Amino acid sequence: MTTERIVKTGSGWRLGWNPQATHYQGLVGTEEWAIELTQAELDDFCRLLAQLAQAIENIADELVDEEKITCEAESDLLWMEVEGYPSAYTLRFILNRERRCEGSWQAQAVPGLLQAAQSLQVF
């Protein structure tokens, strides 16, 4: 596990990790908004995002070109959904505990966010 603060940004997304923070070590957001997450919440966010991306990839060959798909994944801490086409889909999440917030990313931001989440390796 890394011991220094990391903030990754791209077009339409932000993802951060600060292991020295006392309660909220993670951060997810866009240029317009951000929410701090506990380590467990960030772990679930990264894990569920990877699961959803894999589900979309697995289903892609079964869809016709114009067919949209929606997939959901959930843990005790948060709910996530991807919606769109296998090559371009939006992402939305709802935090289920304490702060009860939600956020979303446009389709063009999701590939960069997914790559950054995979490279954080905090889960």
Tens of pLDDT along 45-76? 999 999 999 999 888 888 777 888 999 999 99
Distance CA 11, CA 89 (A): 15
Q: Residue 51, class by beta-carbon neighbours within 10 Å (0-12 exposed, 13-18 middle, 19+ buried)?
A: middle
Distance CA 119, CA 39 (A): 15
pLDDT tens across the length of the chain (123 residues): 446 888 999 999 999 999 999 999 999 999 999 999 999 999 999 999 999 999 998 888 887 778 889 999 999 999 999 999 888 999 999 998 878 899 999 999 999 999 999 987 644
Both tokens of 107, joined, read 């389709």
- The whole-number pLDDT of residue 123 equals 41
Length of the chain as a residue count: 123
Domains recognised in the chain with CATH numbers: 6-120 (2.30.31.10)
Q: pTM for the complete prediction?
A: 0.90
